[in-house]
Chain A
């Protein structure tokens, strides 16, 4: 897979549209999901996803490897989302009917947890929200999250601890 992505990267740098299309195809779920869960609405998520890939198109020469590509996409997406959220007075989180698209209820997820999670995400500060998503959506460890967000590892750990505690408190006892 990594070798395939590296080959696609090399081809895309040479102007191969199919290779560029394949790179977008391979990473759009991750970028779109981060954008959607950070910004809270489908429209804003689509705009951000497009902006990120357009930016990638102009920066292909600076991408060194498949791992660097994934890192770069997460970094640009979360940083741009945080910037957008800081410019908005408060997050207008997605409507309930969009929540399914946000958390993939079609996959048979836990609807109660999803409701609490949506509420929690909407209440977290933008950096704390990004930390949660990079940890549980992208499965990054605290060191990689710290690198992605240019944040001390201890700050990442405290964000995670606090967010999990809040979520646990909001969960009804099972």
Chain B
């Protein structure tokens, strides 16, 4: 019973030949001068350049986002520095005024 099933399996799973056209194309590609796996991928349905194009576009997009992020960060930093400078200036002016007021009060009292 087991042997019968196994022999029928062997019969059903005998190697099958690829199509003649594919076979000839395969031999031509493998024996072609200087064929590299990258060139051989040319027959693929999922053509490699499309993949490269997508990758290049994705990389450009990421780069653009990165540059924009960097510029935005620098702009914010500059705005922060300007605000800090203005606060210090305001404090300096206030301090001067207070000093003048103090001097005036001192003069009046003496």
Using a CB–CB cutoff of 8 Å, the interface residues on chain A facing chain B are: 17-18, 20-21, 24-25, 28-30, 32-33, 36-37, 43, 45-47, 49-51, 53-58, 101-104, 107, 109-110, 113-114, 117, 132-133, 136-137, 139, 164, 167-168, 171
Contacts and interface: CB of A to CB of B under 8 A. Distances in A.
A43, A50, A117, A139: residue with the most chain B Cβ atoms closer than 10 Å = A50
Interface residues of B, number: 28
SS of B interface (majority): helix
A67 B11 CA distance: 23
B33 to A, nearest CB: 8
Contacts of A50: 26, 29-30, 40, 43
Contact of B31 (A21, A133, A164): A21
B16 A32 contact: yes
Given A47-B43, A50-B26, A139-B10, 5 more contacts: A33-B16, A49-B26, A54-B35, A110-B8, A117-B9
A103 B8 CA distance: 12
Interface string B1-43: 0100110111111111110001100110111000111001001
